[in-house]
A and B are shown apart, each in its own frame.
Chain A
Amino acid sequence: MTVERIENRFAALKAEGRGGLVTFVTAGDPDPRISLDLIKGLPKAGADVIEIGMPFSDPMADGPAIQASSLRAINAGMTLRKTIELVRAFRRGDTETPIIAMGYYNPIYSYGVDAFLKDAVEAGIDGLIIVDLPPEEDDELCVPAMDAGLAFIRLATPTTDDKRLPAVLNRSSGFVYYVAIAGITGTRSAQTEDIQAAVDRLRPNTDLPLAVGFGIRTPEQARIVADIADAAVVGSALVQAVADTAAEGGDAVKAGLDFVKSLADGIRER
């Protein structure tokens, strides 16, 4: 499946005439059991695409919420191998929802690129977003990943100027992830008109669907972004909702899925 699963999902969304909801959770956060239950529940709660964070000790593009989630997962014993197993377990019950593994390069480099790609494809991972691999380092993972049939989803940002845009969009597949602000995850939110302007700038340069993320925290924001682009990505706010409930001893899975449902309802409300 791999990249086709992503293409099929965006084609279905287009046919449905609505933008999609992409949700991010960190694998193994707050612990591997809750994490699996949460991820299994995401499609029914309304997530169209699932991004699974591969925990890393030094997530340099992430804000406090996702940094903390990564540390919780590592402290709970999560590894890249277990993250791949988590996807394999999810796939036993869902063969339709695209899974994107998102993270940083070092754990993959440490695992071994060839071994990782083989295991990732077998487990049912469809695409990769690797924050610290810009086009300048494409030979490392982008090229072999695309050869293996995985989508390599590139981040475009407000600092990506027109001169640089082709390099960023070239060798992108699956979709393009527009980072709405210059900054880290879970901090500021972009102005609607800035997102509109960015989408208008990107559209003529790519045929791929556009997902927009960073700073989207409410059903209202998700609806606005999903209307402008092809999908809205929500990460920190979801991770935080799960963490807060888990910390209070509540039902973290339910809290996470309720929040996702509210986002999905927001997106479907026209």
Chain B
Amino acid sequence: MNEILPNSYRTGPDEAGHFGIFGGRYVAETLMPLILEVEKAYNAARRDPAFEEELRYYQKHYVGRPSPMYFAKSLTAHFGGAKIYLKRDELNHTGSHKVNNCLGQALVAKRMGKTEIIAETGAGQHGVAVATVCALFGMSCKVFMGAEDVRRQKPNVERMKLLGAEVIPVTSGTGTLKDAMNEALRFWVAHPETHFYIIGTVAGPHPYPQMVRDFQSVIGIEAREQIQEAEGRLPDALVACIGGGSNAIGLFHPFLDDKDVKIFGVEAAGDGIETGKHAASITGGRPGVLHGNRTYLLQTDDGQIVDAHSISAGLDYPGIGPEHSWLAETGRVTYVSATDEEALDAFQLLTRTEGMIPALEPAHALSYVGKIAPEMGPDEIIIMNMCGRGDKDVASVIEHLKARGKFPKDDS
């Protein structure tokens, strides 16, 4: 699509927040001054060594960074091809990569003197991470969550409440993650002076896609160093799952200019792309404007947004970060997809071979690793982002496995 390929894939966005034609600031006038204020505060923060130092302190002592880079020997033997390394962001405090971004944004909010935080959440991983940093910094916290997700993700709802957050069930629209984001934006429009909105993924209006990416890039920065240390060279391939795409961009971004590193983003194919019941915005959508940015969206011919479907609530979003849309159009990153079934199989495989229960989100990534690893040589290297652990998914996975007759019968 783009006739001229850029010299670097790491310079975006431009000043107006565009990655090629994607990104931008498509928000109501009421929000514009706030967004400009966030942009200004973020730009000042990232140039301030004191901010960097504080962020690093909490990353190390509170989150537990750097997260390990683990050589998955049994998994490698199982697939019989490339060496597979797992970047273990599931070991972070709160159990996923989400906390990397929440910590950064909370520190920006703190600099701005804002002590009231709002957020949206789908599966509740981002909500828990926001509630956690709010407890840490003594901030109030409201989390908007689709009513259906509130029901499905009870343990995370309870965690948020224990952490002192107010969980607001959203029934408007279709009561899903996109509606939770609409409702958070509506609340923000009505409380512009007092509140800071911590968006959980690399979507939303500029500067959010950039800011969230920068805070998540710690994943890829560490991974580069760790793989050099372990193997003395860069990997041949990176694989990460994509809903909005924050863990993926975090891993990918520091490698974008390493031309020999192949990069794969794995979207959720749900019941299968052909069924229309999926969450694969790039594979099955087209460009549009939602939640403040232009990006690939699942939509009808009339431009109405369609609900996403995935076994993984964390991937259940009808859009994708604008930078991913740009990376897809430039061809730098290859976007593929994995179905619910494939993710369930990968979930069980990792659990049995490595003794790690992954979240259903990275199980999608693992499914694709299983497709490429056997085709690669034993000297080749894949890094997969293990972006979350599966405690939250245990009950629903058991339900799915029982429904398919795949769960071991009770002995008792």
Min C-beta distance of B17 to chain A, whole Å: 9
Q: Are A183 and B189 in contact (CB-based, < 8 A)?
A: yes
Q: In the bound complex, how far is the Cα of B400 from the Cα of A153, in angstroms?
A: 51
Q: In the bound complex, how far is the Cα of B303 from the Cα of A265, in angstroms?
A: 39
Q: Are A110 and B302 in contact (CB-based, < 8 A)?
A: yes
Please judge, given known A-B contacts A57-B304, A60-B185, A159-B33, whether A184 and B190 are in contact too, CB under 8 Å: yes
Q: What is the size category of the interface that chain B forms with chain A? A: 35 or more
* Interface: A154 (CB within 8 A): yes
Q: Give how many A-B residue pairs fall within 8 Å (CB-CB).
A: 121
Q: In the bound complex, how far is the Cα of B297 from the Cα of A137, in angstroms?
A: 19
* Interface: B43 (CB within 8 A): no
Q: Are A67 and B303 in contact (CB-based, < 8 A)?
A: no
Q: In the bound complex, how far is the Cα of B191 from the Cα of A183, in angstroms?
A: 7
Please judge, given known A-B contacts A58-B178, A184-B189, whether A107 and B173 are in contact too, CB under 8 Å: no
Q: Are A134 and B27 in contact (CB-based, < 8 A)?
A: yes
Find A131's partner among B25, B28, B291 (CB 8 Å cutoff): B28
Q: Are A134 and B32 in contact (CB-based, < 8 A)?
A: yes
Closest B residue to A183 by CB, please name it: B190
B-side contacts of A157, CB under 8 Å: 28-30
Find B173's partner among A71, A104, A109, A155 (CB 8 Å cutoff): A71
Find A133's partner among B26, B291, B299 (CB 8 Å cutoff): B26
Q: Are B24 and A137 in contact (CB-based, < 8 A)?
A: yes
B-side contacts of A158, CB under 8 Å: 30
* Interface: B60 (CB within 8 A): no
Min C-beta distance of A211 to chain B, whole Å: 14
For chain A, residues 104 to 143, give those with C-beta under 8 angstroms from any C-beta of chain B.
104-111, 131-134, 136-137
Closest A residue to B299 by CB, please name it: A110
For chain B, residues 173 to 222, give those with C-beta under 8 angstroms from any C-beta of chain A.
173, 178-179, 182, 185-186, 189-193
The 3 closest A-B pairs by CB, nearest first: A110-B303, A183-B190, A107-B303
Q: B residues near A, CB below 8 A?
A: 16, 24-34, 172-173, 178-179, 182, 185-186, 189-193, 287-292, 294, 297, 299, 301-305
Q: A residues near B, CB below 8 A?
A: 55-64, 67, 71, 74, 79-81, 104-111, 131-134, 136-137, 154-161, 164, 168, 179, 181-184, 187-188
9 A/B residue pairs, CB under 8 Å, sorted by A: A59-B182, A63-B186, A67-B173, A105-B289, A132-B26, A155-B28, A159-B29, A181-B190, A183-B190
